[in-house]
Amino acid sequence: MANLRRLWKILFVFTRYRLDSLLPVEQLPLSLRIVLWLAPWRLSPVPSRLTRGERLRLALEALGPIFIKFGQILSTRPDLVPEDIVRELKRLQDDVPPFPNDKARALIEAQLGRRVEELFAEFSAEPLASASIAQVHAARLFGNGDQPGKEVVVKVVRPGIERTIERDLRLLETMARLLVKYSADGRRLKPLEVVEDYRNTIYGELNLQIEASNCTQLRRNFEGSDLLYLPEVYWEYTRRNVMVSERIYGIPVADVAQLQAQNTNMKALAERGVEIFFTQVFRDSFFHADMHPGNIFVSREHPQQPQYIAIDCGIVGTLTEEDQTYLAMNMLAFFNQDYHQVAQLHVDSGWVPASTKVHELAAAIRAVLEPIFEKPLAEISFGQVLMQLFSTARRFNMEVQPQLVLLQKTLLNIEGLGRQLYPELDLWSTAKPYLERWMRQRFGPKAAFRELKRQLPTWLDKAPQMPGLIHGALTRLNHMDDTQAALQKEIVQLREELAEQRHQKRGRSLGFAGIFTGMFLWWQAFALGLPESAGLIVTSLGILTLLLR
């Protein structure tokens, strides 16, 4: 029932803001076009006082946090979304309507066990920013003697947000099940796994203690770095629904005018964003996965060597060593236009079925990428490459990899942000040297020596047991022939039993069929005045067949 009510709300919001007018109707199948033309909401005029970007933003705000997150992602893709819509969707990044101050204070006091006046020397009633999951208030800690207290921000989760998110997730799960049930293409996209992965992600974001630990880990990873700075977390003031951290002062990364006013090196800024992404993914295997412009600032110091400042670490991603390796090799193969290698890696990694013919997949990838690579690399959007490759996936049953969904989203965010800062950003040439260096470090002699040093204590510990293990393995090999003969004999017996059971079932089926056929013939003979002997004979044969079984 809750899912049905939510579905009705989505439909109501869709019609209220006439979002159907944003659809590319001419590109839809004829059946869908007819449905849209006959839809009752077309009787309602498109709100003329609102632009299409405002209508989409207001609709996403009305539908709640999951839809707001979707709008945030769209706002970083000016190469895919019209400029007027991007401009309006940017307001979703930190300009969501706030909840009342008294609710924020009550939640802080319930979580920390003291009144706000006892916790902070100063506390701002007006939030600094309000987002889909939480809002942030400025505050100051109590000082120590003559030392003034540190400036901090207090992040508070929206009251009751868990219920809203759970309701939306249940609806998404229902839609995913329908997609799996009725669409073969939907099964290939693994929608249930994607929804479950998103469930884990967003519930992690609701727990501010998890966000605090993520921030602390990222801060440790980039300690002393001039690329990225993470604010300090004050753990004594941090609970599940409240987090207190250092207040940072920087320029919002989307404020290009202010960045240019302080003579920021925009090319270096865009390239450093790409370097930070690849460092987190391949060096640390721990990356900030919510890097939309509302969560990123630029330090006011050293504008020629600009440093990023990241906040809101509620969503992070990790990769296994196998995923890291296949991802790096795939990207390098893309950069080198080695389509056969791309196809082979997709098969080796299990992203397409093992039965896939590599040369056919390579030919399909070549047909997609060759026209794109005719352009200068600086004009190629990695996001557009992914979209083009997606169109080839249906032929080869390529499946969505849930563990890579966050990575793909983050890469699209980074590219969209980089092109906003520096439209000539060449993601390919920026990333390629880093990936080549990482591959050398991963598989070169030094890497082999490091792995040997890491594994040596384990090998030495197991060395005294090796003779016994080898002797046991050889003994088992000697008895392998006897074991295989016994298994073969059991398999033959099972086959004979199954054959006998099938034979008996067939006989019973014939017997029952004979009985029912004979009774039918008997009834027909009686009804039509014909001889009854035929029915009696067939019925008797059927009974006899059953008795013999």
CB contact at 8 A, 300 and 261: no
Q: Which residues of 129-165 are buried (b: 16+ CB within 10 A; e: fewer)?
A: bbbbbbbbbbbbbeeeeeeeebebbbbbbbeebeeeb
DSSP string, 497-532: HHHHHHHHHHHHHHHHHHHHHHHHHHHHHHHHT--S
- Asked if 281 and 287 count as a contact pair (C-beta separation under 8 A), the reply is yes
d(Cα 269, Cα 296) in Å, to the nearest integer? 12
Q: What distance in Å separates the CA atoms of residue 397 and residue 186, rounded to the nearest whole number?
A: 11
Residues near 253 by Cβ (< 8 Å), separated by ≥ 6? 259, 293, 296, 297, 298, 308, 417, 421
Q: In a 10 Å sphere around its CB, with 0-12 CB exposed, 13-18 middle and 19+ buried, how is residue 287 labelled?
A: buried
Q: Which amino acid is at 517?
A: T
Q: How many CB atoms within 10 Å of residue 96?
A: 24
Report d(CA 212, CA 278) in Å as an integer: 22
Please identify which of the residues 290, 312, 338, 426 carries the catalytic annotation: 290
For Cα atoms 511, 516, 520, give the angle at the middle one, nearest 5 degrees. 145
How many angstroms separate the CA atoms of 433 and 20, rounded?
45
> Is 290 among the catalytic positions?
yes
* Cα–Cα distance, 267 to 270 (Å, whole number): 5
CA 229 – CA 219 distance, rounded (Å): 7
> Cβ atoms within 10 A of the Cβ of 338, count?
15
Catalytic residues: 290
